[in-house]
Chains A and B, each alone.
Chain A
Amino acid sequence: MDVSYVAHLARLALSQDEITRFQSQLSGVLEHVGQMQKLDVEGIEPTAHASPVYNVFREDVELPSLPVEDALKNAPQQANNLIIMPKIVE
C-alpha cells in the first residue's frame, strides 16, 4: 500500500521523511492484519457486525432541529443563513 496515495485520499500533506517513516509502519500494520488471510473461512457467511442484531429503525417522526444560529456557529463565514466557502469549481 502506497502511503502517499493513502495520504492523498485523506488530504494529508506528508513530508518526504514522513512518507518513508510511515511507509514501513503502514506495511507492518498491514502485514500484522494480513495474518487473517491465512484463516480458513470456507462456509462462513460474511458479516458486517459482530452481534446478530438486525432492523434497528426509528419511526418516521419529525423532531426539533437546531436553531439556525447554532447550526451556523462553526461556519467561518456566512451570509443569508448559508455557509459561505471558496467557490466550488466543477
Chain B
Amino acid sequence: MEYEAVIGLEVHVQVKTHSKMFCGCKNEFGAPPNTHTCPVCLGMPGVLPTPNLEAVKKTVLTGLMLGCEINRICKFDRKSYFYPDMPKNYQISQYDQPLCLDGGVVLGKYAFPKDAQKDPIASAKKNVRLIRIHLEEDVAKSFHFETTSGIDFNRAGTPLMEIVTQADIASPEEAFAFLSTLQQTLSQARISDADMEKGQLRCDCNISVRPKGQLEFGTKCEIKNMNSISGVRRAVAYEITRQIQTISNGGKISQETRRWDDAAGQTYLMRTKEQAHDYRYFPDPDLMPMRTDLGLVESMKQQMPETPSMREERYMRDYALNDYDASVLSSDIDLSHYFEGVLNAAQGDRQKVAKAIANFIINDLLGLLGGADQTLADCKIMPEHFGGLVSCVDAGKISSKQAKEVFVEMFATGKEPSTIIQEKGMVQISDEGALESFAKQAIEANPKSVDDYRAGKMAALNALKGQAIKLSKGKANPQLIGEVLEKLLNA
C-alpha cells in the first residue's frame, strides 16, 4: 500500500532584544549561569512583569512579513504546569488572542535541499499555511548530570515567538525548505539570528502517515531535539519510514513524543501522551491587553523590510536575472547589499551589467571566499572597484577572460582594477588596423579552417577567432576580431 505523510511544525524563535520579555535583565546567550536574573524572571511573589515593546513590535513585523492577520486586541495568558525550568509554575504565553493569525510561507525552489531542487514539487511554489504566531517567555536552560540536574535562569523570561503551521507539509524536503525560508526571512529582518545550532530557532515536528487518499489523519508523533535544518530533514525522513514500517507490519502508532538522536540517526521514545495536559489557561491579571490598531500595525507596516522572496522577484523583474541567480543573491542580506553596491558603482546597461556581476559573485567570488575560509565581511574587493571592473569589460577595455584574472588579483590584494590592468599590461586591442593584422596572420596560418568556413562550417570562424586572440596574447577584443575576420573572409 502507498502511504503519505502529514507534517505540521511548531517553531520557537528567540526574538532579538536587549532585555528580557517582562523585565530589564539582559537577553544574552552564553553568559555565566544565573548572572542575568531578577525577582521578575526568578518568579518571586509580588513582582510586576511589564511587556517589552520591542518584542511585541518584532512579532507584529514577523506577522506582516508572513502575510498574517494581526489581531486587533491581544492578551497574555498564564499556562500552568510544573517543571523545574519554570520558576513561577506558569509560563506567560498567549492562548486565544495571539498577536498573529493565518499567513503562510511560500517554498521557493532554491530553499529546497540541493539534491531535491530538480523534483517538480520544488518548483510548485507551495504555500505552507500558518495557524498563528504568538509571543511568550522562554524557560530556563537545564543541564543533566549523573544524578542531578542544574538550572540556569539566564534564558528564563527571554522573548520567544511560537510559529505554528497547518499540517500542510508532505515531505522531509518541504520541512527543510520551510525552515530555511523562515530562517532567512527572520535573520534578514534582524528579528532573530535564528541559528538552530544555538537554539535560537527550535522546531518540534508533528508527523503522521496515512494510506494515500484517505481523508482521516493517522495517529501523530511529536519529534523533538533537532539542532539543524538538515537534522530536521533526516529526523522527519526516519520517522515517516518508521511509522510506515510499523503499520505495514501490522503494528499501531501510539501518540507519543520522540527524541531525535542525530548521531545514531534514530528517534527514541521520550514519553507517551496518555492524558492531555490541563494547562488551565487564563488571562494574566498582571498584564493589560494590547491593542494593535492604535498605531502599532501602521508603524510596523512602514518599517517592513523587503523579504528575500520579494527581493528575488525584484531582481528577476528589474535586472532580468534568472531564478537561480536571483535566489542566490537574495538568500543573504549582506550578499544582496554587496550586489546592489557593486551594481550602483558599475556603468553600462543595467541588465547586462547585473548579469555580469551576478556571474562574478556566484561563479568566482563565493568560491574564492569559501576557499579562503572567509566571509563577505572579510572580502577585500570594494564594491566600487568591483563595479569599475565590470564597467571596463562592458566598455570593451578588457576581455571577460582578462577580467577574471584581474578579479582573482583584486580578491587577493584589494587593489583597484585599473592598477592591476596597468601592471599586467592588459589593454584590450580594439584598434581596427591592429586587429586586421592579427586576423590576417590567423587566416594565413590556418588554410583548413578557412576552407571549412567557406564550405559553410560556421564553427570554423570560432577556431580562427581563437587563433587571432591567441596571436594578440589575449588582448584582442573578441567581438571586434570576429567582425574583422568575417569581413576579410567574405571579401
Contact = CB atoms under 8 A, between A and B. Distances in A.
A binds B: yes
Contacts of B280: 9
A11 interface: yes
Interface residues of B, number: 54
Interface residues of A, number: 34
Contacts of B294: 54-55
Interface string A4-24: 000001010000000000000
Contact of A71 (B37, B75, B147): B37
B304 interface: no
Contacts of B291: 54-55
Contacts of A60: 17-19, 52-55
A58 interface: yes
B270 interface: yes
B150 A79 contact: yes
A33 interface: no
A87 B144 contact: yes
Interface in B16-51: 17-19, 23-26, 32-39, 42, 50-51
A62 B18 contact: yes
A79 B37 CA distance: 17
A90 B52 contact: no
A26 interface: no
Question: Interface of chain B, helix or strand or loop or mixed?
Answer: loop
B278 A59 contact: no
Contact of B289 (A49, A58, A71, A80): A49
Contact of B50 (A11, A56, A62): A56
B36 A81 contact: no
Nearest to A51: B288
Given A63-B19, A71-B34, A87-B148, 20 more contacts: A48-B283, A54-B288, A54-B291, A54-B294, A55-B288, A56-B287, A59-B54, A62-B24, A63-B23, A63-B38, A65-B38, A66-B42, A68-B37, A82-B152, A86-B148, A87-B145, A88-B84, A90-B259, A90-B270, A90-B271
Interface of B: 17-19, 23-26, 32-39, 42, 50-56, 73, 75, 80, 82-84, 142-145, 147-153, 259, 270-271, 278, 280, 283, 285, 287-291, 294, 296
For the complex of A and B, 4 pairs with smallest distance between CB atoms: A63-B24, A82-B150, A48-B283, A60-B54
12 contacts: A53-B288, A55-B288, A56-B288, A57-B52, A62-B24, A65-B36, A71-B35, A77-B148, A80-B150, A81-B34, A83-B151, A88-B83
